[in-house]
Amino acid sequence: MDHSSRREFLKAVGLTGLALGGCSRAQAPDTPVSAAPDPAEGRQTPRVVIARLPGYDQGADLDTDRLREALERALMALTDAADASEAWRRYFGAEDIVALKVNALAGPQLSTHPELCHAAVAGLVAAGLDENRIIVYDRLTEELEVLGFRPNHDGPGLKVLGSDVTGYDLEPTEVRAVGSCFSRIVSEIATKIINVPVLKDHDLAGLSGALKNHYGSINNPNKLHTDHCYPYVADLNCAGVLRSKQRLIICDALDVCYEGGPAFQPASTVPYGAVLVAEDAVAADAVGLGILDRLREEAGLPPLMSLERAPRYIKLAEEYGIGVAELHRIQIIEV
């Protein structure tokens, strides 16, 4: 898609005014990439907040207002903000175009719940953001539609866009062992990203969570699954476009699959009834790994790190300086 076509697209969705720079984003392995500013103003210990929904039942209708209340409690605990609007504004301003990266791969039973996204959108709007400048995205529009999202490319209100509509960069971003073209939603349209993954087992990578969710932000995830996705998950998350734009992790742990994922497995998917909120994707995955291992232990299964498919990329991401993987260095807060 040429520059004039991109401008026409952005104009159609009401998102004009963005810079349309070159698409080549080669990044040498040793190039320092700056992390997103920390609203916690220098707090050294990352926080992961677990907001629980007592009485949650798998497959039951979800109350968006109840989810929003739980999410906002978690945000206030994460930021020490006096109220939810202040918490949202620590990360996002009225000038931002905010993209929510969901996980729609496994269908309605084990994908990001639309109600969770709508709860986040309601909070953002209440904090002063224009709903027309908020996007829900994943790779395929069809998969988003199956989850219950109404595709909206150019109408008023919340935008629901698949990267199959917007396209990908013409040239790959090269960082460490990865060379991938990012979705234009990530590279050109959004100014900030909320990562909304699902916590689940993965039969190749060990765990699918915040770090691996960005396999849905690139054009060639199939190329990055060899050797149990190691080092590719960690390498991908070194990309400057992710480090500079991702502000928040809202991990859907309402239904958690502890064995046989990433596809839905009825026998090993349980109603965990929680949402994990963090700034640090590595810390969120480390806490998620602990949750999966506890569920696996209860089912008589060995811990994931003892298996060939252990999610070793989490520790590697810490070594790269992306975040913190050691649980004793993470403050876990339950609300």
The DSSP bridge partners found for residue 152 are 160
The DSSP bridge partners found for residue 160 are 136, 152
Spatial CA neighbour of 202 closest among 188, 218, 216, 213: 213
Question: Which CATH superfamily is 41-334 part of?
Answer: LarA, N-terminal domain (3.40.50.11440)
Domain range summary for the chain, segments of one domain joined by +: 41-334
Please compute the mean of the pLDDT values over residues 5-14 and round it to a whole number: 54
For the stretch 30-57, pLDDT in tens is 344 434 444 444 457 999 999 999 889 8
Six-digit token string for 232: 């590719």
Q: What pLDDT does 13 receive? A: 53
The DSSP bridge partners found for residue 250 are 277
Q: What pLDDT does 7 receive? A: 54
For the stretch 288-297, pLDDT in tens is 999 999 999 9
The DSSP bridge partners found for residue 202 are 206
262 CB contacts (<8 Å, ≥6 apart)?
105, 106, 110, 200, 201, 202, 203, 208
